Amino acid sequence: MVLDLKALTRQAKDRLIEFPDRPLIMGVVNVTPDSFSDGGRYLDAEAAVAHAIRLVEEGADLLDIGGESTRPGADTIDEAEELRRTIPVVTAVARAVTVPISIDTSKAAVAQAALDAGAVIVNDVTALRGDAAMVEVIARTGAGIVLMHMQGTPRMMQQAPCYEDVVGEVSAFFEERIRFAMAHGIVQRQIVLDPGIGFGKLLAHNLTLLARLQGFAYFGCPLLVGVSRKAFLGQLVERSVQERQWATAAAVAMAVERGAGILRVHDVCAMKDVVQVTVAISRATTVSMKAQHA
């Protein structure tokens, strides 16, 4: 494995997010009517909480709760509606499970309310560019922060994504965002990086980022990767969203092999197995290479 995961313990509010001997599985809980793969299924708070508990029973190490879809073309929702959707769910889930909870939001007020309700990580797909007040919330609370790369905004991002060197540009973005975060009082131990698979990227860009994921290891932050059921997999295998579990498994395995530290997935039970087997094979390869050279 490329990154020594054990060295990547994160601080998230009053908790430490420690990596066991394998990457972590982050289960997705969408409290939205319009998410691309499960929109409307868990819009009712009770259904969302039951789903979250089920994901933990299946082996999720973290949960990511979101109230606003970021699928390509999605409309934004206002703060009151996002608070109404997410906070009762975060509150109830935090009482019901012990795994760390992440709130998937770009709004500082939603992040703050979720952190007060028991979340410890903020997953901000705008990487602190969406709401000027977000950086202060993260610095003051000491919450974990996911800085994700996105070209454009969810509404427009898939219209004409364009890069000369996608890996170089995502690296430069991470560098600038880390500098920005640290200049505002966030410490490196709070930061998780995410290349933003599907966020302002064509198929070739997504594949290149996954193939060269280890290129981001030098930042010394865990890499979060979200490939679950995404459109680029559908382009490769021509299957509907609900039929992309095997395609997701292949992408998760490759991401793990290239150093992903956190896998954001809908199908927790199946992807946990994929991670375990991939890690075992990666580790055996490393051991046998060492033996050969001894």
Interface ranges with ligand HH2 (CB under 6 A): 28, 30, 32, 35-37, 66, 69-71, 104, 123, 125, 146, 148, 194, 197, 224, 226, 264
* Nearest residue (CB) to ligand HH2, 28 versus 115: 28
What HEC string does the chain produce?
CCCCHHHHCEEECCEEECCCCCCEEEEEEECCCCCCCCCCCCCCHHHHHHHHHHHHHCCCCEEEEECCCCCCCCCCCCHHHHHHHHHHHHHHHHHHCCCCEEEECCCHHHHHHHHHHCCCEEEECCCCCCCCCHHHHHHHHCCEEEEECCCCCCCCCCCCCCCCCHHHHHHHHHHHHHHHHHHCCCCHHHEEEECCCCCCCCHHHHHHHHHCHHHHHHHCCCEEECCCCCHHHHHHHCCCHHHCHHHHHHHHHHHHHCCCCEEEECCHHHHHHHHHHHHHHHHHHHHHHHHHHC
Q: How far is the CB of 88 from ligand HH2 (least distance, A)?
A: 18
Q: How far is the CB of 35 from ligand HH2 (least distance, A)?
A: 3
Q: How far is the CB of 16 from ligand HH2 (least distance, A)?
A: 20
* Nearest residue (CB) to ligand HH2, 71 versus 84: 71
Lateral strand order in the sheet of 191-194: 191-194, 144-148, 121-124, 101-104, 62-66, 24-30, 262-265, 224-225
Tokens 């109230």 sit on residue: 67
Q: How far is CA 272 from the centre of its chain?
A: 15
**264 is a catalytic site residue:** yes
* Nearest residue (CB) to ligand HH2, 232 versus 289: 232
**230 is a catalytic site residue:** yes
Residue nearest to ligand HH2 (CB): 226
The one catalytic residue in 22, 244, 264, 272 is 264
Q: How far is the CB of 288 from ligand HH2 (least distance, A)?
A: 33
* Nearest residue (CB) to ligand HH2, 248 versus 284: 248
Q: How far is the CB of 107 from ligand HH2 (least distance, A)?
A: 14
Q: How far is the CB of 18 from ligand HH2 (least distance, A)?
A: 20
* Nearest residue (CB) to ligand HH2, 84 versus 289: 84
The one catalytic residue in 201, 230, 244, 258 is 230
* Nearest residue (CB) to ligand HH2, 70 versus 171: 70
Active centre residues (catalytic): 230, 264
